[in-house]
Every structure is written in structure tokens, then in C-alpha cells.
Chain A
């Protein structure tokens, strides 16, 4: 199989998969919940908006649950701490693989501008998507999938179906 240049130091797929599964299992055993990533993004949005318009955030149907009176700051949250850990772990992994370098990952024919615009647009669409589905590939697909939650499996299948379809349109960005 062709070796991709960016893949230096990547583990064998199945080794990585089993390791990932064991981390998830450990998390379930210790905490009783799975891993996640998108919740803290919503909290970060709430905290940012709260700086400018506290009233609007505290009366907003979705955000107000983060700001109930007497509650801890929205960042004092299990998943927020977990995401901080993810960042640290990722940095350690990339440094120890001697692969650390600033770059904008994209296909050979795509410009940096196009890639950044599409990343931004994708981020917005994906962020909205995670609030509908109550999770992303970590919280829904991985954690819900491993506990055989029907909604998570539906989410996963729809995600891949949509991604394979839309990939045809954004082909220039990646290939």
C-alpha cells in the first residue's frame, strides 16, 4: 500500500483502533460516560457570548442551562477538562513522532485561502449539526456506538452517507 507522507509515525490501524477502544472502555469503567468533544465547544460559545450579552445568554433556551444560579462556571465541567487533556495528549503524540510543523493540511491542488474558508464553513455547519445530534464523532459515533445506542448508529450512517456524497463536490480541496 502507498505510504502517505503525513502518516509518519502513525500506528497500525488495528493497533490504534484497539488502543482507542481501550481508552473508551476505561472511560466507561471509571466515569460511566463516554468520550466527547463538541460539548465544550458549545460551552466556549456560551462563555464568549456571555462576555458581550450576559442577559441574552442567560435567558436563551439552550445556553441558560450552563448559567443556572449557584452553578459552577460553565468551564468547570468534566468534558471541558477532558478536551484540555486531548490537546495535551495530541501535542505529546505529534512531538514524539517528530512530525511537528505548522501547516495548513490540504490537497496538492488547493490553495491555503480556499482550505481555510472551507474549514471555517465546515466548522459552522458541523457545530450546528452536533447540537441537533447532541454529539459528534466522539460522543455519538464512538461512545454511543459502543453502547449500541440506536440514535448513535443512525447518526453514524447518515454522517458517512452525507460525507461520501459531498466529498464529490469538494474534491479539488483534497485531491
Chain B
């Protein structure tokens, strides 16, 4: 079936909330096992003591990116739906200001 399923109307809002919890559980489990649940692991990156956070993050990015492209090649994913409805819009200055604040908080707060 061609995705994204929810936007194309394959299931109801109620079902989507159940899916939310299931995806959340998977996400939480993997994040913890990736080490994103420990501030020491995250901040070790900023002192070049352990680059694990970057390795995890960018291999995740590449996996999802390639996956989406492959799915749309084989006709299982309609990228235009994503572009039209769901993609985060770019607001350059807010991204920069928000990024600065979040980056400061990343080192100060640890997450």
C-alpha cells in the first residue's frame, strides 16, 4: 500500500493514536539503547571523548533518507504528499535563533 497511510486516509484518528504509542515505545527503546538517555554520553561528544552520538544520529538520518527514496522509487511512498502536507517549513532566522538557544541548552542542560 502506498504511504503515507494516514494522510491518504487508510485509518482513523483513533487508530493513529494507538500507532503513536507503539511508535513511541519503539523510538524510546532505541533511543535509550543508543545512549541518548544519558547526559554524560551526549556531552562526551562536545569534548571529543566519544563520537557515538554523531555516529548514531547520522546513520539514522541516512537510513531514513535512503529508505524514503527507495520506497518512493518502488511506488510504496508518495513523496509529493509529504511535500504538500507534512514537511516542516523552512524559516531561516527562527531556525538560527532557535538553534543557538537549543545548542547552548544542549551543553548546559545535557540533552
Contacts and interface: CB of A to CB of B under 8 A. Distances in A.
Given A155-B95, A171-B47, A21 B28 contact: no
B26 interface: yes
Interface residues of A, number: 104
A123 B106 CA distance: 9
Nearest to B62: A21
Interface of A: 1, 4, 6-7, 9-11, 13-14, 16-35, 76, 78-79, 81-94, 97, 105-107, 118-137, 139-152, 154-167, 169-171, 173-175
A32 B87 CA distance: 9
Given A32-B4, A32-B7, A162-B106, 13 more contacts: A6-B40, A10-B35, A21-B61, A22-B67, A23-B27, A26-B23, A133-B97, A146-B65, A154-B99, A157-B99, A159-B103, A170-B107, A175-B49
Given A17-B63, A94-B32, A133-B102, A158 B95 contact: yes
Contacts of B60: 16-18, 20-21, 24, 142, 146
Interface residues of B, number: 81
B13 to A, nearest CB: 9
The 5 tightest CB contacts between A and B, nearest first, are A85-B24, A122-B109, A21-B63, A162-B103, A133-B98
A159 B64 contact: no
B108 to A, nearest CB: 4
Contacts of B52: 10, 13
Contacts of A28: 3-4, 64, 68, 77, 82
**Residues of A contacting B: mostly:** helix
Contacts, number: 367
A148 B108 contact: no
A16 to B, nearest CB: 4
Nearest to A38: B102
B41 to A, nearest CB: 7
A17 B56 contact: yes
Nearest to B3: A29
A29 B47 contact: no
B74 interface: no
